Chains A and B, each alone.
Chain A
Amino acid sequence: MFKIFKYSFFDMIRNRWMFIYMGFFLLVTTVLLMLSNDVTKVIISLTNIIQVLTPLIGILFGTMYYYSSREFIELLLTQPLSRKSVFAGVYLGLAMSLSLSLVLGVTIPMLFFGVFTSSALSTFLTLLAMSVVLSIVFSLLAFLIAIRYEDKTKGFGVAIFTWLFFGIIYDGIFLMLLLVFKEYPLEKLTITLTFFNPIDLARILIILKLEISAMMGYTGAVLQKFLGSLNGTILITVMLTLWTVIPFALMLRKANKKDF
């Protein structure tokens, strides 16, 4: 698996889109830091950007990469290599390079502003963890979609819809439910619904860390009230871990049952 990972990873980091992706975060972080010297404020702004952009880029790039690697994957599958190691290797190469571009893009400007000696270091690390997890989850969803749909157009359509669903539609439905059932106690429903959206989970994780109640929204407030910041953080971390482990297992299962 490691060798396949190596090929996939080096293939990806030579891709100019990875440079553009990293360049974008370099630029945005630098500009934000220049506009406001307060690292915490920059982290909040970055949270807002990352929670929209990493899922989108993760899912689009993941789908694109799978489709363009189909030949490579088919070539590998005729070799004495297990399907699991082929798919795990190719996927990890993608996930690692996506995460690396993002982490470097955000961290390099932050280094110059002394983030590692500032009090916001742990929040910054949470932000990095959140962006890596979102990249992993959405590129995994991309692989699941692309393995399922042979037709590229369909695959991209489903991928964009998935992003739209978790990024916008889900929150809309959530809000509607809260409004319709406002007469009833909704705390449990709120917490449960949050668990099914990785973007919400990641956002709340940072907000709990920052302890800015104004930004928490209903879900964040409920989580903090019922679980406290620490328990809330632990629970969210567990859920986000499940969000990476379960789709990964599903992806390998689907790949194992596919005809090439």
Chain B
Amino acid sequence: MIKFENLYKSFGKNDVLKGIDIHFDHQGITAILGPNGSGKTTLIKCLLGLVLPDSGEIFFDKEKTLNQFEYRHHIAHLPQIARFPENLTALEIIDMITDLREGATRVEELIEMFDLKKELNKKMGTLSGGNRQKVNLLIALMYDTPAIILDEPSTGLDPVAIINLKQFLREEKAKGKLILITTHMMSFVEEMADNIAFLLEGKIYFDASLQQILADHNETNLERAIAKILHADLKKEVHV
């Protein structure tokens, strides 16, 4: 469904993506992991068309995405840092997007899920960090799309909201959707992810199923398995 082909991107002298080759065809949840600055957000922004790659191609449903916009009808995207017009209320923003995009939404369901009723008429600038993230999630997920991409969804959320979000994602997964998530919360990944794509210094370091990674390294804990992989590699380099 989503395919990155030899993707390069640099910001000035900073090479962020150095030849990303990966495809996400399997339904279910894939966690995109990697240390800070490894290019996770840039990769997602490239897919959304917010950042333009220097070279390489991105395909969504076998069609190139560069300079296209229709394909975004099929992607729900949660940005890492939510940027909203501060002088508008959440409700005004939701209304604006429904007006611009048209089609059926599931706003009511999401308002209920995140308990946002009381916050809807407050200006975005006055909302707390957690509530902002809830509105961010609501706006991202309000359309029923075959692909869902969430950049750090759990940031600032309270435990109840996280539980609800997980439940929501499980239901979406059951519908056969493709879900990509970046996060630093390993417990979230262990609980939710089917596959893991690990980015390191702008390249895909490994791409495998969660079970496979744990089995290959004889670990029950993902954090340790990843540390093992990175450590083994470092040793190899030193040895050479």
Contact = CB atoms under 8 A, between A and B. Distances in A.
A81 B69 contact: yes
B84 A81 contact: no
Interface string A1-24: 001100100000000000000000
B45 interface: yes
Given A78-B50, A78-B72, A69 B85 contact: yes
Contact of B93 (A3, A69, A75, A256): A75
A4 B48 CA distance: 19
B52 interface: yes
B83 A80 contact: no
A225 to B, nearest CB: 50
By secondary structure, the A interface counts as: helix
Nearest to B50: A260
A3 B96 CA distance: 9
6 contacts: A4-B100, A74-B50, A75-B84, A76-B100, A80-B72, A80-B101
Interface of A: 3-4, 7, 69-72, 74-83, 256-260
Contacts, number: 55
A77 B45 CA distance: 11
Contacts of B237: none
B110 to A, nearest CB: 17
Interface in B53-74: 67, 69-73
B160 interface: no
Given A79-B72, A259-B50, A260-B51, A74 B101 contact: no
Given A78-B48, A79-B72, A81-B100, 16 more contacts: A3-B99, A4-B100, A74-B83, A75-B83, A75-B84, A77-B50, A78-B50, A78-B72, A78-B79, A80-B70, A80-B101, A81-B69, A82-B69, A256-B67, A259-B11, A259-B50
Contacts of A71: 83-86
Contacts of B77: 78
Contacts of B49: 77, 83
Interface string B8-29: 0001000000000000000000
Contacts of B70: 80
Contacts of B50: 74, 77-78, 259-260
A5 B70 CA distance: 20
B185 interface: no
A243 B51 CA distance: 30
Contact of A7 (B52, B71, B84, B96): B96
Contacts of B84: 71, 75
Nearest to A80: B72
A118 to B, nearest CB: 43
A3 B73 CA distance: 17
Interface string B95-121: 011011100000000000000000000
B69 to A, nearest CB: 5
A83 B65 CA distance: 13
Nearest to A73: B83
Given A71-B83, A260-B45, A80 B73 contact: yes
Name the 3 nearest CB pairs between A and B, nearest first.
A80-B72, A71-B83, A260-B50
